[in-house]
């Protein structure tokens, strides 16, 4: 008998406890980075999400789309300015953001999931007032910070066997306002409102690294704060770990920062003993095996 098939059967058998562990669990997955622009990577990601749903997990996909926004702004001749690394979003820019995220990017992901045999529906934070935001910094214009979450629409989709795909665009306190919300921030807010079992932040790096450059596989909030204070966690990793801490405070069981370029990254994290990337959870939980309840 072909050794590859034997290995596949053995892998499935070893995954059984983890399949049982996550049956009925809510897992929010932030999807972004280079994988969004690669057709093969998109198809692989979609296949993983469909498999999650097939084995009883309730996944929610939250996506970004910065490169696509940049491309469209360039085509339209709209100049982007940045303050402290964040895009200043005026009225013209937020209209392009909404068009690209809720139209082009969102529907590509929905179609990819459907192509793999899943049922998916795309929506934004504006639909059913899923995400209501206020201005995060007046200097940045229509960049929002979620302050109200209404996640019943997502729970309704779980009951119907549908995978929600959410674009990080929010309504304001004034229903005529539209806010661009950072994708990680939106994913954390949705995970917190759902009290999700896991928030997976797929990135273009292998996880949180220590001072020597090695990935730290398990972290507590206290360690994250210390590593941020001493400069070990820096740059683009800071907003991701801030999102992780916020999500944990709101009731998410654990947050994992992992490399979305790794084949089947989400499945490795959920359904294997060692997982993938850096898991952040309470000090008490750090003493338990990675995927123990």
Q: Residue range 144-173: average pLDDT?
A: 97
For 98-147, write each residue's pLDDT tens digit.
Answer: 999 999 999 999 999 999 999 999 999 999 999 999 998 889 999 999 99
* Residues in a beta bridge with 255: 199, 280
For 184-199, write each residue's pLDDT tens digit.
Answer: 999 999 999 999 999 9
> Is 142:94 a contact under the CB 8 Å cutoff?
yes
Backbone dihedral region for residue 263 (phi beyond 0: left; psi -120 to 50: alpha; all else: beta)? beta
pLDDT of residue 142: 95
Output the known binding site for substrate: 65-66, 87, 180
pLDDT of residue 292: 62
Distance CA 76, CA 281 (A): 44
φ, ψ at 264 (rounded to 5°):
55, 35
Hey, is 148 helix, strand or coil?
strand
Please give the distance of CA 262 from its chain centroid, rounded to a whole number. 15
Domains of the chain, first to last: 23-281 (3.40.1160.10)
φ, ψ at 202 (rounded to 5°):
-80, 125
> Is 250:192 a contact under the CB 8 Å cutoff?
yes
Output the known binding site: 65-66, 87, 180
pLDDT of residue 20: 84
| Per-residue confidence band for 289, with pLDDT thresholds at 50, 70 and 90 | low
Pairing of strands 218-219, 278-280: parallel
Rg (CA), the chain: 19
Give the CA dihedral 67, 80, 92, 108, nearest 10 degrees. 0
Query: From the CB of residue 220, how many other CB atoms can be counted at a distance below 10 Å?
Result: 16
């Amino acid at each position: 008998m072909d050794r590859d098939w034997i290995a596949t059967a053995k892998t499935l058998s070893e995954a059984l406890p983890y399949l049982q562990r996550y049956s009925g669990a809510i897992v929010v997955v932030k999807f972004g980075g280079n994988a969004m622009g690669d057709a093969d990577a998109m198809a692989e990601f979609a296949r993983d999400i469909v498999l999650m749903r097939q084995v009883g997990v309730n996944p929610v996909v939250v996506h970004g789309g910065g490169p696509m926004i940049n491309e469209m702004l360039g085509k339209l001749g709209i100049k982007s300015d940045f303050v402290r690394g964040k895009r200043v979003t005026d009225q013209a820019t937020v209209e392009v953001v909404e068009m690209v995220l809720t139209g082009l990017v969102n529907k590509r992901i929905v179609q990819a999931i459907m192509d793999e045999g899943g049922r998916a529906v795309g929506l934004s934070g504006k639909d059913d007032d899923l995400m209501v935001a206020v201005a995060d910094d007046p200097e940045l214009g229509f960049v929002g910070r979620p302050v109200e979450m209404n996640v019943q629409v997502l729970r309704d989709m779980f009951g119907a066997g549908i995978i929600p795909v959410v674009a990080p665009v929010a309504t304001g306190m004034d229903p005529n306002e539209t806010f661009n919300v950072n994708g990680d921030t939106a994913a954390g807010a949705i995970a917190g409102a759902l009290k999700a079992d896991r928030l997976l932040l797929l990135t273009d790096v292998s996880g949180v690294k220590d001072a020597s450059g090695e990935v730290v596989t398990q972290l507590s909030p206290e360690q994250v704060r210390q590593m941020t204070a001493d400069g070990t966690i820096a740059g683009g990793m800071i907003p991701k770990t801030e999102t992780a801490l916020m999500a944990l405070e709101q009731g998410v069981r654990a947050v994992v920062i992992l490399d979305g370029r790794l084949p089947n990254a989400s499945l490795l994290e959920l359904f294997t003993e060692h997982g993938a990337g850096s898991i952040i959870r309470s000090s008490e939980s750090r003493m338990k095996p990675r995927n123990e309840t």
